[in-house]
Amino acid sequence: MIDGELESQITKIVEKNGYFLYDVEVLRENDAHILRISITSKNGINHSDCQKINDLISPLVDVYNPIESAYFLEISSPGIERILKNPNHFKLSMGDKIEIKLLDKTKITGILGKSDDEGFYLDSAYYKYSDIKKAKSVFLW
């Protein structure tokens, strides 16, 4: 977990440059710590976008030093298929096909409609965030 002030500063940098902050995660993979910042935009994300944001955020995280040990800063897109964890993720995914798994393990797939701070519409049915166990976007290959 990173400091709220650092996340706020990251958000400002990302949005000032025309992107949306999707997620900030601190991970450990293969004994390495990673600060992963996922960005998105209406036009998609490419390598140049990630490099641009990396160059802007790198000095900031050097000052804040969000992880006590050595770590890698990774800027990426959340991907085509991604986990939806908070109301903002749902808002950024409106119109996408998603799959939800309810607390009773029922799986439902549909088109994500409007969402608010309490829940979202999947096709014409309304679901509360508290009623779902997992949600993810689905891409048909």
For residue 3, pLDDT beyond 90: no
pLDDT in tens, 67-120: 888 899 999 999 888 999 999 899 988 999 999 999 999 999 999 999 999 999
Domain shared by 69 and 100, yes or no: no
- The pLDDT of residue 77: 94
Residues in the chain: 141
More confident residue, 23 or 2: 23
pLDDT in tens, 7-58: 999 999 999 999 999 999 999 988 889 999 999 998 889 999 999 999 999 9
CB 123 within 8 A of CB 136: no
In angstroms, the CA 11 to CA 108 distance is 32
Domain shared by 57 and 19, yes or no: yes
Domain shared by 126 and 91, yes or no: yes
Provide the token pair at 16: 């000032």
Quickly count: other Cβ atoms within 10 Å of residue 54's Cβ.
Answer: 15
For residue 1, pLDDT beyond 70: no
Domain shared by 53 and 92, yes or no: no
Structural domain including 122 reads: 87-137
In angstroms, the CA 3 to CA 57 distance is 15
For residue 65, pLDDT beyond 90: no
Domain annotation covers residue 81: no
Domain shared by 71 and 122, yes or no: no
Which domain CATH number covers 35? 3.30.300.70
In angstroms, the CA 100 to CA 114 distance is 15
Domain annotation covers residue 82: no
Which domain CATH number covers 110? 2.30.30.100
